[in-house]
Amino acid sequence: MDDLEAVMHLWRKRIAIISAVMALLLPGHGGQARAAAQTGRAVKLPILEIETESGKLPGDEDTSGTLRLTEACEGGACAIEASIRIRLRGNTSRRFPKKSYRLELVEADGTKRDLALCGLRADDDWILNPMYTDTSKIREAMAYWLWDEINSRGRAAAGSRLAYVEVWLNGAYHGLYCLQERIDRKQVGADKAMGILYKVVENDRPEVAELLNAGSAETCGGLALAFAGSAVESIWAPAADYMAILNGDAPGGGARLSRQNAVDYALWSLLVQARDNHFKNMFIHCAWEDGGYVLYRIPWDLNHTFGDLWDGESPETNYVTYGISAFALDDGMKALIEADPTLLDGMRTRWAELRAGPITEKRILDKAHALFETLYPAILQDTARWPACGMGEGSAANIRDIEDFIRVTLARMDGMLGS
């Protein structure tokens, strides 16, 4: 038995003991006693308790309620309480029993209330990510962390950040979640007058003419408008330029895709095998720089990474399977390289920089192991609550798959980009 397996075996025994003690001592699972018991155990994850006014689970419409966040702090446990509105979010994720939620913090009069939660930014608008198809519970966190390591454009292409919390909903344990920042104007520092932010939610590619004629529509094809500055005259013109670039044509409006961001995104996409983020599942920040728009792509919705492949026909495997697939460039980088093959040299140079700096096998494996070992008791408890999204067979369900994926992919990328 190696060190990691020994840790896993120990935590299996501990979680069984903890569950038995809680069943005996906390039959009603009262909020205060539950939080004290949870934060008093060896692994101290924040406890997020949500009570809805109706006593029912949140649905499509806003439901009022209260939030209590208890987390470890110097000298003991600290708690934050707030009034909230909560509702379901997501598209494909709605089919799963463990739901994704949008959480808004409000004052007593219903106005927005910004709070910094779990060391993340101060905001009123939050996501509760269930990680249902992420059976390892660390792939999304690892993918966002690697984007933060690779992104060289700073805030203009800043990704989301997240923190793990254990959620209790209306007095019942609801599972391990990620409390997650939204990607919005605040996150990327978009200019309030001229900035634009799109969210690409589907693979439905709009035509250039369709975008130019979209007027003030909030969506066009697979693109949705997330933000437009007060002085923007044509909200879809930069999107039309983006589609022209992907089509291999000259952008008529003068917007350009950041070459360094394109290199970063391509390398990140190859490294984590983000096949579901080649066109959709990204944000496009149109930053107003020197009298024109520069387009920065930011990854989003990263559950299908690290060998996790969508299999929509197999509910018995939670709609996913595991596999290391052939390399494929994202759509933006393919278009840029077809127009300028020398950009491959930029990819090689940037990869050499990353391999000499933050992207090493040891550093990535150490990060994965640290996350997995910290979360393991919570993963077991989540698995007991939601067995279908637990650590079963046939998907990227455990740390061994992720170890294998990291080692194989780094070697393949070195072979491809080192020559």
* In a domain? residue 12: no
Do 138 and 371 meet the contact criterion of CB atoms below 8 Å apart? yes
At position 372, the amino acid (one-letter code) is: F
**Distance of alpha carbon 398 from alpha carbon 404, whole angstroms:** 10
Do strands 172-181 and 320-322 pair parallel, antiparallel, or not at all (unpaired)?
unpaired
Q: How many CA atoms lie within 13 A of 73 on its CB side?
A: 11
At which of 150, 181, 212 does a domain end? 181
CB atoms within 10 A of CB 184: 16
CA-CA-CA-CA dihedral for 60, 62, 67, 72, to nearest 10: 50
Per the structure block, which two tokens stand in for 184? 């919005």
Sign of CA dihedral 361, 260, 301, 81: positive
- 140/280 Cα distance (integer angstroms): 16
CB 265 within 8 A of CB 330: yes
Same domain, residue pair 108 and 234: no
Which of 156, 181, 206 marks a domain boundary?
181
Amino acid 304: pLDDT: 87
Residue 202 identity (one-letter amino acid): E
Q: Is residue 20 part of a domain?
A: no
Co-location of 164 and 230 in the same domain: no
Q: Domain check: are 42 and 95 in the same one?
A: yes
- Do residues 276 and 386 share a domain? yes
Same domain membership, residue 353 and residue 332: yes
Verify that 337 and 410 share a domain, yes or no: yes
Instruction: Give mean pLDDT in consecutive 10-residue pieces for the chain, a chain of 419 residues.
Output: 47 41 34 40 77 94 96 87 94 82 95 96 97 88 98 98 98 97 98 98 96 97 98 97 95 95 97 95 97 97 85 62 84 91 95 97 97 92 84 56 93 90
Q: Is residue 13 part of a domain?
A: no
Structure tokens at 34: 């539950």
228 in the same domain as 166: no
The SS3 call for residue 414 is helix
Best CA proximity match to 31, nearest among 84, 67, 75, 83:
67
Q: Rounded to whole angstroms, how far apart are CA atoms 53 and 70?
A: 20
The answer to whether residue 4 sits within a structural domain is no
The answer on 384 and 359 residing in a single domain is yes
174 with 208, same domain?
no
Handedness of CA 10, 12, 13, 18 (dihedral sign): positive
Same domain, 264 and 247: yes
In the prediction, which pLDDT does 396 show?
44
CB-CB contact of 153 with 261 (8 Å): yes
Q: How far is CA 374 from CA 89, 164, 404, in A?
A: 28, 10, 20
| Coil vs helix vs strand at 171 | coil
Give the 3-state secondary structure of residue 167: strand
Return contacts of 364-369, CB within 8 angstroms, 24+ apart.
Answer: 364/142, 364/146, 364/406, 364/410, 365/403, 365/406, 367/142, 367/145, 368/138, 368/142, 368/399, 368/402, 368/403, 368/406, 369/4, 369/399
Which helix H or strand E contains 68, and what residues bound it? strand 63-73
**Can you point out the beta strands (E) in 170-319?**
172-181, 196-200, 219-220, 223-228, 256-257, 282-289, 292-299, 308-310
Residue 282 neighbours by CB under 8 Å, 6+ apart: 199, 200, 297, 298, 299, 300
Across 182-304, where does the E strand assignment appear? Answer: 196-200, 219-220, 223-228, 256-257, 282-289, 292-299
Report the pLDDT value the prediction gives residue 158, as an integer from 0 to 100. 98
Asked if 225 and 198 touch (Cβ cutoff 8 Å), the reply is yes
Tell me, yes or no, whether 21 lies in a domain.
no
- Can you tell me the distance from the alpha carbon of 66 to that of 80, in angstroms, rounded to the nearest whole number? 11
Q: Report the share of the chain in percent with pLDDT over 70.
A: 84
Residue 17 lies in a domain: no
CB-count exposure of residue 89 (10 Å: 0-12, 13-18, 19+): middle
The residue segments making up the domain with residue 299 are 190-417
State how many domains the chain has: 2
How many residues belong to the chain?
Answer: 419
Identify the residue whose tokens are 């709070």: 115
Instruction: Please tell me the distance from the alpha carbon of residue 27 to that of residue 74, in angstroms, as a whole number.
Output: 29
Look at residues 181, 204, 229 and tell me which one is the last residue of a structural domain: 181
| C-alpha 390 chain-centroid distance | 19
